[in-house]
Amino acid sequence: MSGIIGKKLGMTSIYDANGKYVACTIIQAGPCVVTQVKTPEKDGYSALQLAFDDRKEKNTPRPLLKHFEKAGTTPKRKLAEFQFDEPKQLGEIVDVSIFSEGDYVDVVGTTKGKGFQGVVKRHGFGGVGERTHGQHDRERAPGSVGASSDPSRVLKGLRMAGRMGNDRRTIQNLQIIKVMPEKNIILIKGNVPGSKNSYVLIKK
């Protein structure tokens, strides 16, 4: 088990070895620096903390500056923990070489935020119907939400308007179509959660 921090750069499409047209996501995967090695004796579990994407020193909190200084690296924007089978040293670099074309990975990201949305967009409701009997702009309304005298309340879990998107999501078993180690870029078949330039975790 291993992984890396990446940045979603956008989408493109290529032809695979069989001549099939495949839509894929471009991800800049690393290079990441090992900034902490967690052990069962000290932390209760084994893990490696990786850091990715340079950050200005003046915008970095002082405790984090010392944390990165201990690892012998410049300040970074994104930190995440991964389980690695093989041991790594503090300050070691992890890059796209841990992946090969044809590997299957799980990608964790944060979906695009949509803000406060109504029931038609959020849950796919059909609306109340036509404007009849003097109704005004009722096509996208949720309709009745409660019962009558029994139980005299709105039941929990009812699908209503509310905040949509900006949720952490994991897409499993996505195939790596192409690895470009000279640019630290991988192409993953299909789409992954998040907008352009958002951070994703790629787990092998």
Q: Are 78 and 51 in contact (CB under 8 A)?
A: yes
Q: Enumerate residues 6+ apart whose C-beta is below 8 A from 88.
A: 34, 37, 48, 94
| Residue of 13, 136, 147, 33 whose CA lies nearest to 79 | 33
User: What is the pLDDT, as a whole number, of residue 169?
Assistant: 94
User: What is the pLDDT, as a whole number, of residue 192?
Assistant: 92
- Residues 47-89 have pLDDT tens digits of 888 999 888 888 888 888 888 888 888 888 889 988 887 778 8
- Residues 141-189 have pLDDT tens digits of 888 888 778 888 888 999 999 999 999 999 999 999 989 988 899 999 9
Identify the sign of the CA torsion 52, 167, 177, 47: positive
Report the 10 Å Cβ neighbour count for 67.
Answer: 19
Q: Which domains, from first to last, does the chain contain?
A: 3-115+168-203 (2.40.30.10), 116-165 (no CATH)
User: What is the pLDDT, as a whole number, of residue 131?
Assistant: 66
